[in-house]
Amino acid sequence: MKTILTGIKPTGRAHLGNYVGAIKPAIALSEQEGVKSLYFIADYHALNAVQDPKLMKTYTYEMAATWIALGLDPDRSILYRQSDIPEITELSHILSCITPKSFMNKSHAYKSAVDKNLAAKVDVNAGVNMGLYAYPILMAADILLFGTDTVPVGRDQIQHVEMARDIAENFNRKFGETLTLPTYQVSEGTLVLPGLDGRKMSKSYNNTIAIFEEPTSLLKLIKKIKTDSKTPEDPKDPNDSTLFALFREFASEEEIKELGKRFQTGVGYGEVKQSVFQVVERRLQPAREIYLELLHNTEKIDKILQDGAIEARKIAASKLAEVKRKIGM
Ligand code: ADP
Ligand code: TRP
């Protein structure tokens, strides 16, 4: 049995880029045979940035509801909230005591905060809290506590998984074979989905389409996607089109081929936008109903997360006991 695990930060409403690049491939992985999958809401990681208790609660529910609505099956996978597993923060402290400070300076979450400060000519430590600095240690604890073999992540998280591996090796060298060395998995095929303005769709660029946008506003946003000034008769390159990139993620092979041909022979962007809306809506409409239903009955989400925490803590407690034995506690 192979263990896969990934964390999702509750920092805002998930968008179509998150769906295509992270949620869809991670759910597909959990459906494979011979795989034990763990998914968690990384609320302690979000705490670096989200320090409004109401928002923290809302984002946590929204993120859990998003994953469940899109097909994460709590009977097949373990879904939990990071802060419900105290063993994680306990292991995090143990790992921090064997990790040199100099090792943490290279973490890019921290480095990019420092670079921003340097560029803005303000104090290098401005806005940097200890949670951000130690972020990769907490992430290593998330991963190592569950004997994780594979961590599906976006490209930006590769370094953190490599650091978890280094920390595990360091622990094993000191105290004997205890922690499984994890590897990352980046889904090669998935593209970076462009946003409304053609840049990468990202919360940081304010160019996103939320996954569970209401149909009228979904259509409005799709109509806003930037296109060039070609006329309907002009041949167009489907590989150079944000609209086509979006269409491809939601349409069938047949539909992709068909629209691809029409890009070459002639089609107006207004019509393409309607087609994009139809395929996106077709996929997301049933999920949206489940999502809204869950958000109106948050006790259902609580129950799923609590059941998940019970399962997760069984694994966590046994690994933590082994770690503590090894260090003489
Ligand atoms: P954001 O850039 O909106 O803050 P995150 O950094 O929280 O998004 O990303 C969460 C996950 O979604 C990561 O695994 C990331 O690789 C993936 N992701 C984010 N934006 C896109 C995109 N435009 N296309 C594909 N995957 C994306
Ligand atoms: N750092 C990840 C992100 O920003 C979230 C995360 C926290 C995570 N702990 C994890 C991902 C453990 C994979 C495994 O997206």
Ligand 1 centre to CA of 111 (Å) is: 19
Residue nearest atom 14 of ligand 2, based on CA coordinates: 6
Ligand 2 atom closest to the CA of 154, numbered from 1: 15
Tell me the pLDDT tens digit for each residue of 100-111: 999 999 998 899
Write out residues in the chain with pLDDT < 70, as ranges.
189-190
User: Is any ligand 1 atom within 6 A of the Cβ of residue 18?
Assistant: yes
Residue 224 token pair? 């806003």
Residue 76: its pLDDT value, please?
Answer: 95
User: Is any ligand 1 atom within 6 A of the Cβ of residue 151?
Assistant: no
Q: How distant is the alpha carbon of residue 29 from its chain centre?
A: 14
CA distance 161 to 224: 37
Residue 159: its pLDDT value, please?
Answer: 95
Residue nearest atom 2 of ligand 1, based on CA coordinates: 202
How crowded is residue 217: how many other Cβ atoms within 10 Å of its Cβ?
11
What are the beta bridge partners of residue 41?
8, 81
Residue 189: its pLDDT value, please?
Answer: 64
- Counting ligands in written order, the one closest to the CA of 43 is 2
Tell me the pLDDT tens digit for each residue of 121-164: 999 999 999 999 999 999 999 999 999 999 999 888 999 999 99
Ligand 1 centre to CA of 16 (Å) is: 9
User: In testing the pocket of ligand 2, which one of 5, 6, 44, 78 has its CB within 8 Å of the most ligand atoms?
Assistant: 6
Ligand 1 centre to CA of 201 (Å) is: 8
- Counting ligands in written order, the one closest to the CA of 26 is 1
Residue 108: its pLDDT value, please?
Answer: 87
- Counting ligands in written order, the one closest to the CA of 3 is 2
CA distance 298 to 191: 33
Site residues for ligand 2, CB cut-off 6 Å:
5-7, 9, 42, 45, 139, 142-143, 151, 153, 157, 160
Residue 144: its pLDDT value, please?
Answer: 98
User: Is any ligand 1 atom within 6 A of the Cβ of residue 138?
Assistant: no
Residue 190: its pLDDT value, please?
Answer: 65
Ligand 1 atom closest to the CA of 18, numbered from 1: 12
Task: Assign 96 to helix, strand or coil.
Answer: helix
Residue nearest atom 4 of ligand 2, based on CA coordinates: 9
CA distance 327 to 317: 15
Q: Where are the alpha helices (DSSP H) in 49-126?
A: 53-69, 86-97, 101-104, 108-119
Q: Angle 191-195-198 (CA atoms, 0-180°, nearest 5)?
A: 90
- Longest Cα–Cα distance of the chain, Å, equals 75
